[in-house]
Amino acid sequence: MNKSINELLSALTLAEKASLCAGLNMWMTKGIERLDIPPVHMYDGTNGIRKTNSDEEMGITTENVPATCYPTGSAIGSSWNTELLHEVGVALGRESKAMGVELLLGPGVNMKRTPLGGRNFEYYSEDPCLTGELGAAFINGIQSEGVGASLKHFAGNNQEFEKMVTSSEIDERTLREIYLSAFERIVKKSDPWTIMCSYNLLNGTYTSENEHLLNDILREEWGYEGVVLSDWTAVNDRIRGLKAGLDLEMPGPAHYNAKAIVEAVQNGTLSEEQLNRSVSRILKLVERVTGNKDTDSSDVPEYHALARKAAAESMVLLKNENAILPLQQESISSIAVIGRFAKKPRIQGAGSAKVTPTRVDIPWDEIKDLLGDTISMGYAEGYPEDDSMNEELIKESVSLAMNSDVAVLFVGQPEYAESEMHDLKDINLPEHQVKLIQAVAAVQPKCIVVTSSGSALAMRPWVQHVPGVIHSWLSGQGMGKVIADILFGHTNPSGKLSETFPVKLSDNPSHMRIRGENGKLYYREGLFVGYRYYDRKELAPQFPFGHGLSYTSFSYTDLEVVQVDKGVTVSFQLKNTGKRKGKEAVQLYVHDEECKWTRPEKELKAFAKIELEPGENRKIVFELEERDFSYYNTKYNRWVAETGFFQISLGSSSKDIRITERLHCDFGKEEITFHKFSLLSEWLSDPTAKAVLEHCLNDMNEHVTDKVYLSEEFVGFWEDFPMIKVFQMFGQNWMNERSPDDVIQELIARVDRARK
- Active-site residues, by number, are 231
Alpha-carbon distances, residue 267 vs 248, 263, 272, 273, 462 (angstroms):
22, 6, 11, 14, 67
CA atoms of 381 and 368, how far apart (whole Å): 16
Integer Cα distance of 748 and 45 in angstroms: 55
Residues contacting 517, CB < 8 A, separation 6+: none
Integer Rg of the chain from CA = 29
User: DSSP H helical segments within 444-496, as ranges?
Assistant: 479-487
Is the bond preceding 253 in cis, omega lying within 30 degrees of 0? yes
Rounded Cα distance between 483 and 655, Å, is 26
Residue 312 backbone dihedrals phi, psi, to 5 degrees: -65, -35
Q: DSSP string spanning 84-97?
A: HHHHHHHHHHHHHH
Quickly list H helices, 324-362: none
Please name the helix (run of DSSP H) or strand (run of DSSP E) that holds residue 255, with its range, or none: helix 255-266
How many C-beta atoms surround the C-beta of residue 413 within 10 A?
A: 24
Q: Strand (E) positions, 465-519?
A: 468-471
Helix (H) or strand (E) holding 620: strand 617-624
Q: Kindly list the distances between the CA atom of residue 39 and the CA atoms of 27, 28, 93, in Å, as whole numbers in the listed order.
A: 10, 6, 18
- Hey, what's the torsion of the CAs at 512, 156, 199, 518, to 10 degrees? 30
Number of residues assigned to the chain: 756
Cβ-based neighbours of 67, under 8 Å, separated by 6 or more? 48, 49, 50, 51, 95, 99, 355, 356, 357, 358
Quick check: 527 and 537 in contact, CB under 8 A? no
Residue 350 bridge partners (DSSP): 419
Write the Ramachandran bin of 346: left for phi over 0, alpha for psi from -120 to 50, otherwise beta: beta
Nearest Cα to Cα of residue 434 among 405, 396, 394: 394
> Is there a contact between 581 and 492 (Cβ–Cβ < 8 Å)?
yes
Concatenate the DSSP letters of all residues of 93-148 into one string.
HHHHHHTT--EEE--B----SSTT-TTGGGB--S-HHHHHHHHHHHHHHHHTTT-E
Distance CA 266, CA 20 (A): 17
Q: Where are the beta strands (DSSP E) in 458-506?
A: 468-471
Q: Please, is 59 exposed, middle or buried when counting C-beta atoms within 10 Å of its C-beta (0-12, 13-18, 19+)?
A: buried
DSSP state of 430: P
- CA 385 to chain centroid, in Å, comes to 32
Please give the span between the terminal C-alpha atoms of the chain, in angstroms, as a whole number: 54
